[in-house]
Amino acid sequence: METMFEKVGAMGGNKGGAFDDGVFDGVKKVIVGRDFDSVTYIKIEYEKDGKFETREHGTIRGELKEFTVDYPNEYITAVGGSYDHVFSYGTVLIKSLIFKTTYGRTSPILGVTTLFGNPAGREFMLEAKNGGKLLGFHGRSGQALDAIGPHFFAVNSPLKHFKLQGGNGGNAWDDGAFDGVRKVLVGRNGKFVSYVRFEYAKGERMVPHAHGKRQEAPQEFVVDFPNEHITSVEGTIDGYLSSVTFKTSKGRVSPAFGNVVGNKFVFEETGFKLVGFFGRSGDAIDALGAHFAPLPVPPPAPAPAPAPAPAPAPAPAPAPALAPAPAPAPAPAPAPVPTLVSIPTPASPPIPASVLVPVHSPVPAPAPVSSGSSGGTGSNTGGSGLDTGSGGLQKMETQGGEGGNQWDDGSDHEGVMNIYVAAGGLGIENIKFDYVKNGETKEGTFHGVKARAIISTIVIGHPEEYLVSVEGWYDSSNIIQGIKFQTNNTTSDFIGYEYSGDGTQFSLQVKDKKIIGFHGFADSHLNSLGAYFVPVSSSSSSLTPPPNKVEAQGGNGGETFDDGAFDDVRKVYVGQGDSGVAYIKFEYEKNGKRETREHGKQTLLGTEEFEVDSDDYITSVEFYYEKIFGLPTDIITSLIFKTFKSKTSQPFGMVSGNKSVLEGGKIVGFHGRASNVLHSLGVYVSSSRTSSTPVTPSFKLPAKGGNGGVSWDDGVHDNVRKVYVGQGDSGVAFVKFEYDKGSELLVGDGHGKMSLLGTEEFVIHPDDYITSVKVYYEKLFGLKAEIITALIFKTFKGITSQPFGITSGDFFLLEGGKITGFHGSSSDVLHSIGAYMSLSSIPMLRGKWIQVEQKSNEPGPRCSHAIAMVGEKMYSFGGELTPNFHIDQHLYVFDFKTHTWSLAPPNGDVPDLPCLGVCMVAIGTTLYVFGGRDGHRNYNGFYSYDTVKSEWKLITHVNKGPAPRSFHAMAADAENIYVFGGVSTTARLNTLHAYNIVSEKWIELTNPGESCKARGGPGLAVVHGKIWVVYGFSGDEMDDVHCYDPVESKWTKVETSGEKPWGRSVFSIAVVGKYIIISGGEIDMDPKAHLGPGILIGGAFVLDTENLMWEKLEEGHSPRGWCASTTASIDGKKGLLMYGGKSPTNGRYDDIFFYGVDSA
């Protein structure tokens, strides 16, 4: 039978030599090679008439990865990936490839990915109508793969095509057309047809294609091909394919495979036979269609033999027909426009091999662009443009490439506060500036197009720090390729591409002036940039005006108080009473010393606090006041504080009554009226600021420990280079730090008192830095307050110092970035310590914590339970309310659409055992629950719950399969459930088991050996086909990571670095792309073991499984462990979902938190 195919235009660039492999019967394997920037090589293994042939294109550079299908049962139906301009080659290339198959599988991304694990560049997906089979490739290649397009099976006009009958679920597939059908196998799952396998005839060969999910044993119908063929297909649709029946040319009729319910359909045409199927399927057969071909015309009956006659003279032989010469391979179409081409089944003329042409040479440097109103003015370091005088405003015209739309942020600012830059594969995609205007932050707008590129942020500590210059460069694309910023204190790194000599550089700088605004041109990218300059002295007067006293507002009762004006407000304490705000205390700072003022009367309710960071200040106070029944005058009922860096306090009190706002600049003092309550409040406002934020943003972690001694503060530096610690009789008596600041080495003051024991040192390598400090503290006999007893330092490269001191008492962690300075308090000993943290300018993940609202009565507080997501519903099972006492065996359902709870119907093999320490995962619409125990240490087996049928099923009894256990870990991929570790009836475990949902069998995988100790409470994750074991408890809290490769059956102990979290167990875990996110957990076991809470923590961290680096995420929930967690997608964001858990007071939580990833 003649093969018809559809040639879809190639996607990618237009360089390289054209190739066209032609069409084959199918593709069995694809091997892809990549370098740092693009796909450089592809090798395809085709099948034609039972023989395998290979074609390869491009150049092998670096790692090769392959994608294999279960050919011929499975075949590729879609080719996708991404392409983009690759700067190192100077042209557009294919950056990644993805393949989809009839089994619903999607290959890993073969090629270059973003940090978030998505294809890098402009994505594309090429697929035929109705899931046609991939038959071949065409495209362009040279030193790399420039472009690629597919040949797909397409329908042939002589065929009769019966359209799909059924639903739109599952994945589309089209087996194509063959000579006939030899055998049909049909499998059921309850009332639906879940599986079909067709064995087609092609010449003398049998070609099988299978679809759906095999669950019950299939039934078969055999056709006596070529003497018999199928003439009719009859079936019923009841949501899915519910039954199918076949009739043949010999009058035979198959049994009705399935349940004959629903809407009936018939595929039949007189004079035609069945030659192929197409359809849609997932876990069942969603829809079915068919290809029929005309029956061959029978040869005429032989005529009776005529009487012999003389033989005629032989005619001259006809001239042989000339075979057409093969056409040259066509150039790729600019867009995927289908072209139908007919090729006869016999071997086609060979397609001539492409010539590989080396085209990826460096791009020559373009000539400088000329000045014009629609673009830049070329390289310039002077001050061309508008100038109001040597001491006034000066506008420098735009520098960069031509083109784009004009924008102008204006020049009515005091300075630049924040800079946001996004760099993509083609250059700078967008830019935004925040300014200071009238003492307040004025947020700018993005110029360019906001895409998925990572945004780099630069924070400038106005007014002491200001922007003095911008350097950058652009190329022949007229797009700015790289840019960096310089302040009077420091210079940022290049954002985008660093200049390599191939392009045009520019600079925005005027001597003795600073930048207060920007203008430029942008469209899909940033084309050019100009700036407004003013003299440095114009907004930096050495004379500080006196603070402005803003009149108090509220009631007129009580007595007047006036704290006066200070340098800063560092902390506010607010105490509530029965009616409103009863008490307020302010902690001020003046000339480096702290002073407090308090007003009103403190009640038994105590106080709540709002602390202001050292590089921030209060700019606004919003409060409410009203006359309460029984009181003669108005009182203040609520207070809300806001800072320059947009930090907002909680509402202190009840938000009711009249609203008032105190604002106008930096608040440096308070005044008002108070009695037993707070009646009114006013402020002192100063226009001066004391922010000293470095270009890399930092924040101050408050000092913890004891409250004795005198405060000290080393401030913010670039790096900590050396630590000196001296011990005394009771604890840490002395600390001193050496810092880098610019090119200088600064030796800090010693804090505390050095004893005769001297000091010990911890030296940090120049290429490394401190990311975390573990601090032990306790109150010792004879001392009035707690003191620091030990310090342990950890660095980015995973180096951990010795414990300096005795590790006893409570401890806390200083972590969250790069430590650039320390502060604290000391006397003859060290009482407390805190740190300055510098954040990464390009975080791995950007996301946000939210607490999920619950509108109905929830199941109640619990820990040691399990959750899993199916669609928009979270399922919860098991848990405990008090230590070692199970709750129930109900399966609870939380609907994210309605934010309400319900009970799942308890049908089928409902688990007999209410259990704790249980695990649950979901594959598709089915939940799988394994292990756990009750309070009497009876253990659970292995169950599934079908969320569509609302039915439990016992899969493996507790005495079969893996050993009974609790506090283990589970994870899943598309077909396998993995179980690792946990605590059995006698010991902790380190075994890894897998249950395959297709074969329905357990297997024990390779044991990791002694390098991965047996443990309970570990994290388990499947990332890109590999299984990761993270941390856990093995007598001590572990901080190791292990990876198992199922293909090679090999374990690897992975050495991680970065902002590595301290050892922990029973934490929450999720997977987003190549990232593993963990949050919370127990970092020190309780002396009472499971009966106590242990030391719990609330920090979240992310591990990049490719570069093996950790990074700390923002805090989002209170300290907790023993939570239930899973990966979830909510409102279009993927992230970590966690429910419940154990509190530090040994209580149980019932709240739901979600960390949704915005970008990576």
Q: What residue has token string 């409102």?
A: 1131
The verdict on whether 933 is a catalytic residue reads yes
* First CA to last CA distance, the chain: 51
- Specify the amino acid at residue 843: P
Of residues 1041, 1042, 1103, 1047, the one with CA closest to residue 1074: 1103
Cβ neighbour number for residue 314 with a 10 Å cutoff: 6
Q: Output the six-digit token pair for 108.
A: 């890993």
Q: What's the rounded Cα separation, in Å, for the pair 1115 and 948?
A: 37
CA distance 965 to 939: 7
User: How many degrees, rounded to 5, is the angle at CA 751 between CA 748 and CA 752?
Assistant: 160
624: helix, coil or strand? strand
Cβ pair 414, 539 in contact under 8 A: yes
- Alpha-carbon distance of 828 to 402, in angstroms, equals 66
| Catalytically annotated residue among 197, 933, 1064, 1148 | 933
Closest of 537, 534, 492, 541 to residue 514, by C-alpha? 534
Q: Are 1085 and 1063 in contact (CB under 8 A)?
A: no
Tell me the pairing of strands 219-222 and 257-258.
unpaired
Which residue in the list 280, 988, 1064, 1148 is annotated as catalytic?
988
Residue type, 980: F
Q: Which residue has the tokens 């106005």?
A: 462
DSSP-derived secondary structure for 415-429: EEEEEEEEEETTEEE
Distance CA 1008, CA 991 (A): 7
Read off the DSSP letter of residue 380. -
Rg (CA), the chain: 36
**Are the beta carbons of 938 and 916 closer than 8 angstroms?**
no
* Residue whose entry in the numeric block shows the structure tokens 């299984």: 1027
Residue from 1042, 1037, 993, 1046 nearest 1015 by CA: 1037
| Residue type present at position 99 | F
Residue for token digits 């594309």? 124
Q: Which of 394, 453, 403, 407 is nearest to 427 (CA)?
A: 453
CA dist 813 and 803 (Å) reads 14
3-state secondary structure of 1009: helix
Contact 475, 363 (CB under 8 A): yes
∠ CA 582-585-590, nearest 5°, is 160
3-state class of 1010 per DSSP?
helix
Residues with catalytic annotation? 933, 988
